[in-house]
Structure 1
Amino acid sequence: MSDDTTIFAAGLTRRFGTVCAVHEAGLNVRRGEIFGLVGPDGAGKTTMMRMLAGVLPPDAGRIIIAGVDVVADPERAKEKLSYMPQRFGLYEDLTVAENIFFYAEMFGVPRALRLRREAELLAAADLSAFRQRLAGQLSGGMKQKLGLVCALIHTPEILLLDEPTTGVDPVSRRDFWAILYNLRESGVTTLLSTAYMDEAERCSRLALMVTGEIRRCDTPARLKQAMPGMLLAVTADDPRAAKAALEGAPGVLGLLLMGDRVHVRVDDAARRVPELQARFSAHGGSGVSILPIRPSIEDVFVALETEP
Structure 2
Amino acid sequence: MSISVKHISKSYKSVNALQDISFEVKEGELFGLIGPDGAGKTTLFRILTTLLFADEGTATVAGFDVVADYKSIRNSVGYMPGKFSLYQDLTVEENLDFFATIFGTTIEENYDLIKDIYVQIEPFKNRRAGKLSGGMKQKLALSCALIHKPKVLFLDEPTTGVDPVSRKEFWDMLKRLQQKGITILVSTPYMDEAALCDRIALIQDGKILEIDTPEAIVKYYPKPIYNVRANNMYQLINSLNAYEHNHSVYPFGEFVHYTDNRTDFNPDHLKAYLESRNLSNIHIEKTIATIEDTFMELAK
TM-score of the aligned structures, taking structure 1 as reference length = 0.92
Give deviations 1:196-219, integer Å, cap 9, x for gaps: 121112111111111100011111
Number of the residue aligned with 1:263: 257
Match of 1:157 among 140, 151, 162: 151
- Would the alpha carbon gap of residues 149 and 116 (structure 1) be closer, same or farther in structure 2, given more than 3 Å must change? same
The question of 1:291 aligning with 2:280 is answered no
For 1:269 and 1:181, locate their aligned partners in 2 and report how far apart those are by CA, in whole Å.
42
| Distance apart, 1:19 and its partner CA | 1.3
CA pair 127-110 structure 1, distance change in 2 beyond 3 A: closer
Q: Does 1:223 align with 2:221?
A: no
> 1:229·1:253 contact (CA, 8 Å) conserved in 2?
no
8 A Cα contact 1:231 1:269, kept in partner: no
Q: Quick check: 1:211 aligned with 2:176?
A: no
Q: Is the 8 A contact 1:232 1:291 kept in 2?
A: yes
Instruction: Write the distance in 2 (CA, Å) between the matches of 1:258 and 1:222.
Output: 21
1:30-60 Cα offsets, whole Å, 9 max, x none, are 1222111111111111101111111111011
Letter of the aligned partner of 1:181 in structure 2? K
2:134 to 133, 136, 140: 140
Could you say which residue in structure 2 is the equivalent of 1:89? Answer: 85
Task: Report the residue type matching 1:198 in the other structure.
Answer: D
Per-residue CA deviations over 1:116-138 (Å, capped at 9, x if unaligned) read 55655402xx1121112111211
- SS of 1:286's equivalent in the other structure is coil
Identity of aligned residues (%): 40
Residue in structure 1 matched with residue 43 of structure 2 by the alignment: 47
Deviation at 1:141, TM superposition (A): 1.2
1:281 deviation in Å? 2.8
In structure 1, the partner of 2:160 is 166
> 1:262 Cα deviation (Å)?
0.7
Mean CA deviation greater in 80-89 or 177-186: 80-89
Could you tell me how far 1:299 is from its partner in structure 2? 1.4
Question: What is the identity, as a one-letter code, of the residue corresponding to 2:89?
Answer: D
TM-score normalized by the length of structure 2: 0.94
Contact 1:230 1:267 in 2 (8 A): no
Q: Among 63, 66, 70, which residue is 1:67 paired with?
A: 63
Aligned letter for 2:188? Answer: T
In structure 1, what is the Cα distance between the partners aligned to 2:113 and 2:216?
Answer: 37
Q: Structure 2 residue aligned with 1:274, among 268, 271, 288? A: 268
Q: CA deviation at 1:250?
A: 3.8
Indicate the residue corresponding to 1:129 in structure 2.
Answer: 123
Instruction: Note closer, same or farther for the CA distance 1:284–1:143 as it changes in structure 2 (3 Å cut).
Output: same
> Which of 83, 96, 101 pairs up with 1:100?
96
The answer for unaligned runs of 5 or more in structure 2 is none
What is the letter of the counterpart of residue 100 of structure 1? L
User: Which residue is equivalent to 1:58?
Assistant: 54
Query: Structure 1, unaligned stretches of length 5 or more?
Result: none
Per mean C-alpha deviation after superposition, the further-off stretch among 33-42 and 112-121 is 112-121
1:152-177: per-residue Cα shift (whole Å, max 9, x none)?
00111111111011111122212211
Letter in structure 1 aligned against 2:40: G
One-letter identity of the residue aligned with 1:184: Q
**Aligned-pair CA distance for 1:222:** 0.8
Once the two structures are TM-superposed, the CA of residue 178 in structure 1 deviates from its matched residue by 1.5
For residues 156 and 127 of structure 2, the distance between their equivalents in structure 1, rounded to whole angstroms, comes to 25
Structure 1 residue 192 and structure 2 residue 173: aligned?
A: no
Q: Taking structure 1 as reference, are residues 220 and 269 closer, same or farther at Cα in structure 2, changes over 3 Å only?
A: farther
| Counterpart contact for 1:229–1:268, Cα < 8 Å | no
- 1:112–1:39 distance in 2 versus 1, CA, 3 Å: closer
* AA aligned opposite 1:38: I
Q: 1:236 to 1:115 in 2, by over 3 A?
A: closer
User: Alpha-carbon deviation of 1:180?
Assistant: 0.2
Q: CA RMSD in A?
A: 1.7
